[in-house]
Amino acid sequence: MKQFINGVTLELMQGDIASQKDITAVVNAANAELRIGGGVAGAIHRAAGPGLERECQPLAPIRPGEAVISGAHNLPNKYVIHCLGPVYGVDKPEDELLADCYRNALNIAEEKGIDSVAFPAISTGAFGYPMESAATIALKTVLEEAKKLKSIKTIRFVLFSKSDLEVHAAVLKGIAM
């Protein structure tokens, strides 16, 4: 599914965030220590190799809502943007912290002149954020930010399961301008 806003293409697809060959920066649903973990952080660090953890150590720890950028090592991308999502029911206000992740990731990408960014569904795995609420925040934030973007031309959401993709598609349909 694709949507065009102010010269930016917003794409929703099912897939693996660690195999987005045509994307300049992939976003990691990181842990505060920026170490290998489960889910997205496991897939990204395994594909990138141990150099990614080494590069990230001076940048850690990060706070919920924060984003930092590193090289992509053995991933097929140029950069990884690491975001720490809120733990649902623990880090408050969780909706604002989740929106901060998307805003801060896009701002860092703009500062670097990056043309394409791929996001996973931050906080919806181990951190327990309900998929539909998280999708609403993620898509609303990205649609709002898209109006201001200059260098970013493609934003892709890479959803792990078919049902996660369907939830995002339905939410996007509901808020599309």
Closest distance between ligand ADP and the C-beta of residue 20, in Å?
Answer: 9
Compute φ and ψ for 68, nearest 5 degrees.
-135, 160
Q: Which is nearer to ligand ADP, 8 or 29 (CB)?
A: 29
Q: Which is nearer to ligand ADP, 77 or 124 (CB)?
A: 124
Closest distance between ligand ADP and the C-beta of residue 110, in Å?
Answer: 23
Rounded Cα distance between 40 and 121, Å, is: 9
Which residues make up the interface to ligand ADP (CB under 6 A)? 16-18, 29, 38-41, 43, 85, 120-127, 158, 160, 164
Closest distance between ligand ADP and the C-beta of residue 43, in Å?
Answer: 3
Q: Among the residues of the chain, which ranges form H helices? A: 39-48, 50-56, 94-111, 131-146, 162-175
Q: Which is nearer to ligand ADP, 109 or 158 (CB)?
A: 158
Q: Which is nearer to ligand ADP, 134 or 149 (CB)?
A: 134
Q: Are 66 and 75 in contact (CB under 8 A)?
A: no
Burial class of residue 95, CB neighbours in 10 A (0-12, 13-18, 19+): middle
